[in-house]
A and B are shown apart, each in its own frame.
Chain A
Amino acid sequence: MQVAEGTKGRNTGSDIRATEIMVTAGARELHDGEVVVVGLGLPELASVLAKRTHAPSLATLLETGVMNPRPKDPPVGLPDSRVFYRATCLSGFLDVMGMNLHRGVVDVGFLGALELDRYGNINTTLYKDGSGRIRYVNGSAGGNDVASLAKRVVVIMRHEKRKLPLAVTHLTSPGFVGGRSRQELNLRGGGPSRLITDMGVLGFDAKTHSMSLISLHPGVRLEALVENTGFPLHIPNDIPTTPLPNAEELRLLREEIDPKGLHLR
């Protein structure tokens, strides 16, 4: 699973950082009593924030077999022992990815991405460098499994034109491929439901399965968001503003969840 990139320093017109808005918006996608498989970085922070606020009985699973950990120190990756701290279960792939995800009991897959296209297809395998050469990166790990099998998928990533192309360079993890329904694609999971970026919250049109704008973060102009997106978006007539984190959410994020600002600053 990819570690979501930290998104630093985009100006929101207040002292609240874009990353704080992203994590809060991510947390609000998670409901109490749900089961979520998270990647490290911003997805994990969002799950912690949800658990500490409106979703105390959220079950947080990591692909390596870790459930409901409460890390004290920041991990470098999924197999880092720091992730095991105070977990309620330590098992393996077959348990988390097999008997939970493949079994169909995971409500939300929460991922990062290198590239994501208009149908929510994700690339985490390769990119073309400046000279057009193919460069390989991490690959799927559990990403394809999560995108294929979770009831819904939330992606959190930086909003840049090259990261949001018309079609991904390599289709690692399927969304609504070619605008087709998940059933047509032989996929059990419901597919992408939200993309949370540092500019806004986006969703997928129920009919066309193509990406649509749901809300703009405070201080972000619609033109800027459109310019930074590599494909046409459905834009509603009235565009709501993404709610800012409230005082308690901000306090938790800054004082308890990421006090050193490793992901949020």
Chain B
Amino acid sequence: MVDKLKSVPEVVRTIPSGSHIALGGFAIARNVIAVVHEMIRQQKRDLTLSQGVVGLETDLLVGAGLVTHLIMGGGSLDRFGPAHCVNRARETKSLRCDDYTSLSVCFRYLAGALGLSFIPIKSLFASEILERLEAGPAASDVKRSKCPFTGEEYVLMRALTPDVSFVHVQIADRDGNCQIDGARWGNEEQAKAGRRLIVVAEEIVPTEFIQRSPERTIIPGHRVEAVIHQPFGALPTTVYGCYDYDADHLRLYVEHAKQPERFKEYLDKFVFGCRDHWEYLQKLGGLPRIAELRAERILGY
């Protein structure tokens, strides 16, 4: 049997520059930080990124100058602040940004996951979101059309089939059977739309543990190419049931992300200055800090 357990650098080495990557985080939750840091260290360039609601992971890749095309439904770092790097890149027009909505990006992934080439939606009408998509390079991804049965007007959107989808999950077994606790936003559609699917798991469990509650398996192992075991791999973002977000570090990040020069300092210290995620965790405060952030069992944060 093929061993799917891989390290972060091993997986990232298999991703060519120019790939379309779909990320499974939402603002400050379940971001694949360990993977994103390694992509920056390995300088994977010219990326297309898609995501329902962007957050820290996307802001890092955009800030590092590795993204040329962003497909997103919006996003921020919640109360900690805006996604400064993403917003700045849009203001300076240094990337192509196709602006959608949470549901329309989710529907485009759903179409991809179902093997459909397009999907109709009733959002977007009469908005500047649709107008801008139709007026730019994204015009080849959206089209207005009537239902052949009822005549109702729809916006048709081209399916999204990312080259690689990444999702951070609480538990997986060595075959890649994944269980996600808490709200899942667009994870199932985004994961299953990917041509390749890679999961980052907080904990690798025996298959017998998955077999105890198989109804909770959101992504079945046969769809998963590789499993990365990286405990605390989403920090400073939160993983429900495992740990809270690191509010201090998110504040520090937002302070740096406000200005390109300071963002570079952040990357130098916390990304280029770290060999791997363990070293990064040391810089966040190591075990004492992790112990503080560990989730309480009833609350899950």
A residues adjacent to B (C-beta < 8 A):
3, 62-66, 72-73, 76-85, 90-94, 97-98, 101-102, 124-125, 133-145, 148-149, 170-174, 177, 185-188
Instruction: For the complex, give the distance between the alpha carbons of A73 and B86 in Å.
Output: 30
Contact partner of A139 among B75, B103, B124, B244, CB < 8 A?
A: B75
The stretch of B159-167, B178-186, B263-271, B276-284 that contacts the partner chain: B178-186
The stretch of B15-23, B36-44, B77-85, B202-210 that contacts the partner chain: B77-85
Instruction: For the complex, give the distance between the alpha carbons of A63 and B183 in Å.
Output: 10
B123 touches A136 (CB 8 A): no
Smallest Cβ distance from B89 to chain A, in angstroms? 9
Q: A66-B183, A76-B79, A81-B301 are in contact. Are A94 and B100 (CB under 8 A)?
A: no
Instruction: For the complex, give the distance between the alpha carbons of A90 and B184 in Å.
Output: 7
Contact partner of A148 among B80, B123, B186, B299, CB < 8 A?
A: B123
Instruction: For the complex, give the distance between the alpha carbons of A187 and B28 in Å.
Output: 32
Given contacts A92-B106, A174-B125, 14 further A-B contacts (CB under 8 A): A64-B185, A79-B55, A80-B28, A80-B29, A81-B241, A84-B240, A92-B189, A93-B52, A135-B91, A137-B87, A140-B73, A142-B103, A144-B123, A174-B126
Q: Does B255 contact A (CB under 8 A)?
A: no
A187 touches B122 (CB 8 A): yes
Smallest Cβ distance from A178 to chain B, in angstroms? 9
Nearest residue (CB) in B for A136 is B87
Smallest Cβ distance from A17 to chain B, in angstroms? 21
Instruction: For the complex, give the distance between the alpha carbons of A260 and B126 in Å.
Output: 41
B residues adjacent to A (C-beta < 8 A):
26-30, 52-53, 55, 72-76, 78-80, 82, 86-87, 90-91, 99-104, 106-107, 110, 121-129, 131, 153, 182-189, 238, 240-241, 244-245, 247, 295, 299-301
A selection of 23 A-B contacts at a CB cut-off of 8 Å is A3-B79, A65-B185, A76-B247, A79-B53, A81-B182, A81-B299, A81-B301, A85-B299, A90-B182, A90-B184, A92-B106, A92-B186, A93-B186, A102-B123, A137-B87, A138-B75, A140-B100, A142-B73, A148-B125, A172-B128, A185-B125, A185-B126, A186-B126
Chain A residues, CB < 8 A from B80: 76
A90 touches B126 (CB 8 A): no
A148 touches B87 (CB 8 A): no
Instruction: For the complex, give the distance between the alpha carbons of A70 and B301 in Å.
Output: 15
Contact partner of B73 among A84, A98, A139, A173, CB < 8 A?
A: A139
Q: A93-B106, A140-B100, A141-B53 are in contact. Are A79 and B29 (CB under 8 A)?
A: yes
Nearest residue (CB) in B for A182 is B126
Smallest Cβ distance from B127 to chain A, in angstroms? 5
B185 touches A79 (CB 8 A): yes
Nearest residue (CB) in B for A81 is B301
Interface centre among A78, A134, A143 (most CB of B within 10 A): A78
Nearest residue (CB) in A for B295 is A81
Instruction: For the complex, give the distance between the alpha carbons of A92 and B122 in Å.
Output: 19
Contact partner of B102 among A72, A142, A149, A186, CB < 8 A?
A: A142
Instruction: For the complex, give the distance between the alpha carbons of A76 and B91 in Å.
Output: 26
Instruction: For the complex, give the distance between the alpha carbons of A101 and B128 in Å.
Output: 21
Smallest Cβ distance from A42 to chain B, in angstroms? 15
Chain A residues, CB < 8 A from B106: 92-94, 97-98
Instruction: For the complex, give the distance between the alpha carbons of A81 and B237 in Å.
Output: 11
What 6 A-B pairs have minimum CB-CB distances, sorted nearest first?
A77-B78, A139-B74, A79-B29, A81-B301, A76-B79, A141-B74
A125 touches B29 (CB 8 A): no
Chain B residues, CB < 8 A from A81: 29, 182, 238, 240-241, 244, 295, 299-301
B184 touches A188 (CB 8 A): no
Nearest residue (CB) in B for A63 is B102
Nearest residue (CB) in B for A77 is B78
Instruction: For the complex, give the distance between the alpha carbons of A155 and B238 in Å.
Output: 30
Nearest residue (CB) in A for B86 is A136
Instruction: For the complex, give the distance between the alpha carbons of A65 and B131 in Å.
Output: 28
A79 touches B73 (CB 8 A): no
Smallest Cβ distance from B56 to chain A, in angstroms? 11
Chain B residues, CB < 8 A from A185: 125-126
Smallest Cβ distance from A147 to chain B, in angstroms? 8
B103 touches A97 (CB 8 A): yes
Smallest Cβ distance from B200 to chain A, in angstroms? 17
Chain A residues, CB < 8 A from B75: 138-139, 141
Contact partner of B129 among A3, A93, A144, CB < 8 A?
A: A144
Nearest residue (CB) in A for B186 is A93
Chain B residues, CB < 8 A from A138: 74-76, 82
Contact partner of B183 among A90, A141, A144, A149, CB < 8 A?
A: A90
Instruction: For the complex, give the distance between the alpha carbons of A113 and B299 in Å.
Output: 31
Chain A residues, CB < 8 A from B244: 81
B102 touches A141 (CB 8 A): yes
Chain B residues, CB < 8 A from A139: 72-75, 99
A186 touches B87 (CB 8 A): no
Instruction: For the complex, give the distance between the alpha carbons of A77 and B121 in Å.
Output: 26
Chain A residues, CB < 8 A from B299: 72-73, 81-82, 85
Chain B residues, CB < 8 A from A65: 183-185
Instruction: For the complex, give the distance between the alpha carbons of A139 and B73 in Å.
Output: 7
Interface centre among A72, A171, A188 (most CB of B within 10 A): A171
